[in-house]
Structure 1
């Protein structure tokens, strides 16, 4: 599939056809990585970073109740 390089602000860009984006399951605004390998340009999706504790619990609506957990007696050289 051929496409062209076009001026985009102070840089230049390549439009990726909708069919290609759908096949790769890429969305608008998704982060990608550009890799130059010899005379080829490769584009791949940036792997999602692990979610923070805030991200994991952002939709949690119940009230959090802190509780102490008994991990048992120390074993080895732990200091409690």
Structure 2
């Protein structure tokens, strides 16, 4: 897909915009945060996604769903403050 882009100033940086058609092809939405490895090869800018798990997916890395936590019966615990049962 050939497209014409213009380099624009964004704050103290320079940037280009990516068309919504390309974003749709990549399954990206407005305000999605993703990590890219950026390189320049033979006059081309290459972006490669790196570890683009959602925040929730990152929280569950290494989680074993078969491991069950120890159950605590809170009715057997004495009150620790001004609460009453």
Question: Which TM-score band (shorter chain)?
Answer: 0.5 to 0.7
Aligned residue pairs, count: 60
Compute the TM-score of the two structures, normalised by the length of structure 1: 0.56
2:33 to 29, 32, 42: 29
Query: Mind listing any 5+ residue stretches in structure 2 that lack a counterpart?
Result: 72-85
Query: Mind listing any 5+ residue stretches in structure 1 that lack a counterpart?
Result: 67-80
Report the counterpart of residue 64 of structure 1 in structure 2: 69
The superposition leaves residues 36-66 of structure 1 with CA deviations (integer Å, 9 ceiling, x where unpaired) of: 10211112222347x9xx82289x8xx7129
1:14 to 10, 13, 16: 16
